[in-house]
Amino acid sequence: MSVDAENVRRIAHLARIAVADDEIEHLKGELNAILAFVEQLSEVDVAGVEPMTSVTPMAMKKREDIVTDGGIADDIVRNAPATQDHYFVVPKVVE
Amino acid sequence: MSELTSFTLAAARDALRRKDISAMELADAHLAAIEAARALNAYVLETPDAARTMAAAADARLAKEEARPLDGVPVAIKDLFCTKGVRTTACSRILDNFVPTYESTVTAQLWRDGAVMLGKTNNDEFAMGSSNETSHFGPVISPWRRHGANTTLVPGGSSGGAAAAVAANLCLAAAGTDTGGSIRQPAAFTGTVGIKPTYGRCSRWGIVAFASSLDQAGPFARSVRDAAILLTSMAGHDPKDTTSADVPVPDYEAAIGRSVTGMSIGIPKEYRMPGMPPEIEALWHQGAEWLKAAGARLVDISLPHTKYALPAYYIVAPAEASSNLARYDGVRYGLRVSGNDINDLYEKTRGEGFGKEVRRRVMIGTYVLSAGYYDAYYLRAQKVRTLIKRDFERCYADGVDAILTPATPSAAFGIGEKSSGDPIEMYLNDVFTVTVNMAGLPGISVPAGLDAQGLPLGLQLIGRPFDEETLFALGQVIEDAAGPLVPERWW
């Protein structure tokens, strides 16, 4: 499989990464080189093989449903580029 | 440089306890060495104030005979570990001036045991790279040069700064991370020892995430013993990482010198790659002979799915990365580039904040997870991963104790030599190491000799899950035979 310029634009949008028009051709070439490289997986017989979900066999750990952390709003917003009263500030989303 | 910086970790620890040296003079000697070696660009942040505060505290404990395991030992930390109050960037522009309000579990354990932080080391952006050339802070220059040449070489990557800092005596040891070879490949390129422990051995909490099912922390050091000492402190169960393994951590140093007589060492035929330099082949053979001379048995084995590990990795790792890196949105931390609306803000922030390699991998990951492609790419890659792991399980079930392979397909290359054209050319650097991450196994790279141009080469030992001790015992045999590799100082 390979991607065309339109696919590259769509993928960039899905990934929320702005890509300039003059970069599309180059990116297309790089992505297709990677896709061509991984294409060799299609020759592997994977019939009846379970996909890996956990590399080491382990039971899902559970813990009590209790609050273990919190009250650190100052810390949470400390590195934010724009805040107001412990809120993150973003452009208007809902009209 | 001062003798204080050429100590092994073990020798420095013992000298500190005997009070032959103080933690403060050891820290000062290293801070001076770091300052004199800025041309290598190994550190992206030096933390002299923290180093001196921690050294003073270590000296106070040493004076009271209350020494902790690493008291006064100066170490470097890859800039992928979150360090409380100390800028952490993953060497990406998108993290900008991020200052964590918490400490990663692994580094917290190093400080608990008395280690002294010298600074944060350079790495490929978000650990995506094999040469340290994708860092927002620029490439690291290897302390190694070819005989009679002054071409600047890469230290490998992604933990290139940590490897260079250890090789150039800018710390006694360092903490790195390995997703596809990011500890073992730079260790091989710089003549240092690097181990990626079993998946789950070290907590991933507080480490900037790349591919969560593959990421593991591990040490760099100038001897196998030093790596064992550091890993003992770094490893251990952490309730904050649900994938961290709740199994006891042995005293790894005790495995040094342990007999390897009767051990069965697998030599996988699939690691004999077409076009592999004869020097690598010869080194591999030499390593096998050393282990045999120490009493181990060599067994030819087959890991038939080896060639599919790298392509499967380049689906699984980017897929996980595209998900993990979704958090860089210009809202909660890091860089923000204003936009007309929220989507425009996201796209511009991520377009400017991510470097080319990161952008490429996030886009590949997005594509292989997108509707209509998930089964063909991602699900198939995860099935291939099961087959890769089965290959190893079969060998271990047949009685193989560890597997010996070359660490890399070549010695270090020049800066810019592989970074311009085809991304696959760079990816092939990890062909021998990536299988180990895909199977979640422990792997160690030990310096084993120099090539004809005078550059270090490493051998890799792959172990059974949670059996790092065998790797330390076998690694010591290689180290004893090959001797330490030390770059000539030019910087």
Provide mean pLDDT across the span B35-52. Answer: 98
Backbone angles phi, psi at B198, to 5 degrees: -55, 140
Q: What is the DSSP string of B43-100?
A: EEEE-HHHHHHHHHHHHHHHHTT---TTTT-EEEEETTB-BTTB---TT-GGGTT---
Report which of B491, B294, B488 is spatially closest to residue B404, judged by C-alpha positions: B294
Kindly determine whether residue B311 and residue A51, on different chains, have CB atoms separated by under 8 Å.
Answer: no
Residue A24 in any domain: the answer is yes
As given in the structure block, the two tokens for residue B423 are: 């991304």
Kindly determine whether residue B366 and residue A15, on different chains, have CB atoms separated by under 8 Å.
Answer: yes
Query: Is residue B231 classed exposed, middle or buried when 0-12, 13-18 and 19+ CB atoms within 10 A define those classes?
Result: buried
Residue A85 in any domain: the answer is no
How far apart (Å, rounded) are the C-alpha atoms in residues B87 and B95? 9
Q: Is B123 left (phi over 0), alpha (psi -120 to 50) or beta?
A: beta
- Give the pLDDT confidence score for residue B33 in this predicted structure: 98
% chain B with pLDDT above 90: 95
Domains in chain B, CATH or no CATH each:
2-262+404-482 (3.90.1300.10)
- Give the pLDDT confidence score for residue A95 in this predicted structure: 75
**Closest-CA distance of chain B to residue A21, Å:** 13
Provide mean pLDDT across the span B452-476. Answer: 98
pLDDT of residue B1 exceeding 50, the answer is no
- At residue B220, the 3 state secondary structure works out as strand
**Which residues in chain B have Cβ-Cβ distances shorter than 8 Å to A58?**
200, 243, 245
pLDDT tens column, B432-446 = 999 999 999 999 999
Provide mean pLDDT across the span B216-232. Answer: 98
Residue A90 in any domain: the answer is no
**Which residues in chain A have Cβ-Cβ distances shorter than 8 Å to B393?**
none
- Give the pLDDT confidence score for residue B272 in this predicted structure: 93
Scanning B205-341, the segments in alpha helix (DSSP H) are 224-234, 278-293, 309-324
How far apart (Å, rounded) are the C-alpha atoms in residues B16 and B23? 7
Predicted complex ipTM:
0.96
- Give the pLDDT confidence score for residue B451 in this predicted structure: 96
> Is B25 within 8 Å of B4 (Cβ atoms)?
yes
How far apart (Å, rounded) are the C-alpha atoms in residues B221 and B165? 10
Single-letter amino acid, residue B91: C
Provide mean pLDDT across the span B386-405. Answer: 98
How far apart (Å, rounded) are the C-alpha atoms in residues B458 and B280? 9
**Closest-CA distance of chain B to residue A60, Å:** 8
Scanning the structure block, which residue is given the tokens 């059974």?
A: B464
The neighbouring-strand residues paired with B449 are B457
Kindly determine whether residue A3 and residue B366, on different chains, have CB atoms separated by under 8 Å.
Answer: no
Cis peptide bond N-terminal to B264, omega within 30? no
Identify which of A18, A41, A79 has the shortest CB distance to residue B380: A41
pLDDT tens column, B138-153 = 999 999 999 999 999 9
Q: Active-site residues of B: which are they? A: 78, 158, 182
pLDDT of residue A1 exceeding 80, the answer is no
pLDDT of residue B397 exceeding 90, the answer is yes
How far apart (Å, rounded) are the C-alpha atoms in residues B415 and B131? 8
% chain B with pLDDT above 70: 99
Residue A81 in any domain: the answer is no
> Is A48 within 8 Å of A42 (Cβ atoms)?
no
pLDDT tens column, B63-79 = 999 999 999 999 999 99
Provide mean pLDDT across the span B117-122. Answer: 98
Residue A16 in any domain: the answer is yes
A23 vs B: CB within 8 A: no
In eight-state DSSP terms, residue B207 is B
Is the pTM above the cut of 0.90? yes
Length of chain A: 95
pLDDT of residue B123 exceeding 50, the answer is yes
- Give B413's pLDDT tier (boundaries 50, 70, 90): very high
Provide mean pLDDT across the span B205-229. Answer: 98
Question: What is the domain range of residue A29?
Answer: 5-42
pLDDT of residue B309 exceeding 80, the answer is yes
- At residue B304, the 3 state secondary structure works out as coil
Provide mean pLDDT across the span B475-488. Answer: 96
pLDDT tens column, B291-302 = 999 999 999 999
Kindly determine whether residue B367 and residue A31, on different chains, have CB atoms separated by under 8 Å.
Answer: yes
As given in the structure block, the two tokens for residue B138 are: 């620029």
Provide mean pLDDT across the span B79-107. Answer: 97
pLDDT of residue A60 exceeding 90, the answer is no
Residue A38 in any domain: the answer is yes
Q: What is the mean pLDDT of chain B?
A: 96
Q: What 3 state SS string does B388-452 have?
A: HHHHHHHHHHCCCCEEEEECCCCCCCECCCCCCCCHHHHHHHHCCCHHHHHCCCCEEEEEEEECC
How far apart (Å, rounded) are the C-alpha atoms in residues B94 and A2? 29
Provide mean pLDDT across the span B52-63. Answer: 98
Interface test with A, best of B323, B383, B392 (most A CBs within 10 A): B383
Taking only residues 42 to 61 of chain A, the set having a beta carbon closer than 8 angstroms to any beta carbon of chain B reads: 42, 44, 46, 49-56, 58, 60-61
Helices (H) and strands (E) in chain B, counts: 15, 11
> Is B404 within 8 Å of B288 (Cβ atoms)?
yes
- Give the pLDDT confidence score for residue B2 in this predicted structure: 62
- Give the pLDDT confidence score for residue B423 in this predicted structure: 83
Residue A78 in any domain: the answer is no
Is beta strand B74-78 parallel, antiparallel or unpaired with respect to B116-121? Answer: parallel
pLDDT tens column, B169-189 = 999 999 999 999 999 999 999
pLDDT tens column, B246-290 = 999 999 999 999 999 999 999 999 999 888 889 999 999 999 999
**Closest-CA distance of chain A to residue B304, Å:** 11
Residue A83 in any domain: the answer is no
The domain tally of chain A equals 1
